[in-house]
Amino acid sequence: MYKIMKFKFIKESYQMPVNIFKTFTHTKQVLLGVLSIFLLCLGFYANTWKVAKDDWFGRFEHYSESLAVGRIVKSRQDGIFSTGGLLGRGFPEQSTQKYYALKQSREALIEYQYEAYIEGASFDTYTTYDSQTGGQAAFFSLLDKTLPQSSRAKLALFYLLSSLLAACILALIVQWFYMEFDIVVAVSVLATMLLSQWLVVFGRNIFWSLWAFYLPMVMVMYFLRRHRAATSLPLVKFTSLVFISVLIKVAFNGYEYITTTLIMLLVPVVFYCALDGRNMRWFLRHALLAGLASGAAMLLGMVILCFQIASVKGDLLSGVNHILFVLMKRTHANAVDFPPEYAASLQAGMGEVLWKYLQGTFFDLNNYIATQNTFISTYLFNIRYGYLLVVFIIVTLLLLARKGVLKHGIERSRCTALVITAWFSILAPVSWYLIFKAHSYIHTHMDFIVWQMPFTIFGFALCGLAVNIFLPSLFRQKIRHT
């Protein structure tokens, strides 16, 4: 009896520090998650960290957002399913002077949608936007009907909710890096999310629903992590998960950046394939299932959109023709088959488009530090995506050259997996720039966001891993020399 009690005491004494460590780790993880959501949400909602210029932040993509605001007004007036539930913009009575003024000024028409919502006005006529199902506007229309606050207060709440959803989905990515690597990598990812001016300006926009772009990737991340130890993955669950998440994405922001989203969801598949030493057959099986599930979700979304358009225009063929027209004008169609305003974008070369996006700004130090030196303000303080590409290449070479500093084979495989995944992830933004070349050529006011889906996120994770590897070794070397 004494021996049994002694054994239990020794066992409990051994487990106590382990349990304390687990509790401490869990607490640190929760704190990191809460802090990530708080910091990101503040940045998205109010540009608190001044990453973007205030005038740009305040008016970013009002053109697109006004479609959702106009839809909320229409839903409040005639019901959520009126005019097929499609997004759009409304006009006052045609006999009024304001109607003619709005017809002549796009900016005035955009602002009128907000004015009509805040003042509780009604539309006499309504023009639909036929390229999205309008799930985001339906969601906010339901909230608009439910909440008792004033319209101005509800609009602020919509911005806050969009910011919070975006912050939560990105915080889950930060948490994933913490669980798979450590606090240094996770904080590196979080810090650079906070510094990305494109994430900030997109974060609260109620039309774009930033969170929906990342939803499929995040769901696959956590699903694969949870089932790593299983001898075989529940493929039906995996396929269903991809189908549901892509369908939600399509419902909330349509087919915007769709190739980027589809490649993004394969990023965790690549990571766990490399980390666990899976063979190519494993990867191809999961990639094929993800492709089939995504295709089914997109097809269902198109069918729904065609019926929505048909409810307004009278026949399903109108919806099909619209989808084909939009697809062609945004990709590689023959310029002679389209109006003259599309000629430049359709004739542009893919190299020209890609070079344009490498010159875009990720973070602008000029927002914080004033300098009269044009060279410094233009080329040094303006941190461009091309610069980041060079930095990520250098960090990758350093990591591959110094894998020997990692003590265990598991750590080496984790480093290698991150390197492979980071460079696979560049296919996500590049796919949009090259496949949807015409769209990218025109929309330089917004398409820089796809660099963050998720290439820069994984690129900065590489930087965090390099810091974690090299700084301790440099520190130990300094101690030895002293």
- Alpha carbon 82 to chain centroid distance? 30
Give residue for tokens 């049994």.
4
Give the 3-state secondary structure of residue 265.
coil
pTM of the model: 0.90
Per-residue model confidence (pLDDT) at position 446: 95
For 95, the 3-state DSSP assignment is coil
Q: Residue 342's pLDDT is what?
A: 78
Q: What per-residue string of b and e applies to 279-296 under the rule 16 or more CB within 10 Å gives b? A: eeebbebbbebbeebbee
For 87, left (φ over 0), alpha (ψ -120 to 50), or beta? beta
SS3 129: strand
What is the reported pLDDT for 21? 44
Using one digit for the tens of pLDDT, what is the confidence trace for 135-145?
999 999 999 99
DSSP E strand stretches across 316-463: 361-364, 382-384
Q: Give 10-43 pLDDT, tens digit per residue.
A: 444 445 444 544 555 678 888 999 999 999 999 9
Q: What is the pLDDT of residue 383?
A: 94
Largest CA distance in the chain: 98
| Domain residue ranges of the chain, discontinuous segments joined by + | 58-146, 156-197+210-481
Task: Please identify every stretch of the chain with a pLDDT value under 70, giving residue numbers as ranges.
Answer: 1-25, 231, 403-411, 472-482
Query: 177-187, pLDDT tens digit by residue?
Result: 999 998 999 99
CB proximity list for 315: less than 8 A, separation 6 or greater: none
Residue among 258, 260, 439, 433 at smallest CA distance from 346: 439
| 75/27 Cα distance (integer angstroms) | 44
Render pLDDT for 364-397 as a digit per residue (tens, 0 to 9): 998 898 888 888 888 888 999 999 999 999 999 9
**Alpha carbon distance 97, 110 (integer Å):** 17
Helical pair 409-425 and 267-275, crossing angle rounded to 10 deg: 160
Distance of alpha carbon 263 from alpha carbon 426, whole angstroms: 9
pLDDT of residue 158: 98
Name the strand (E) or helix (H) holding 91: strand 87-91
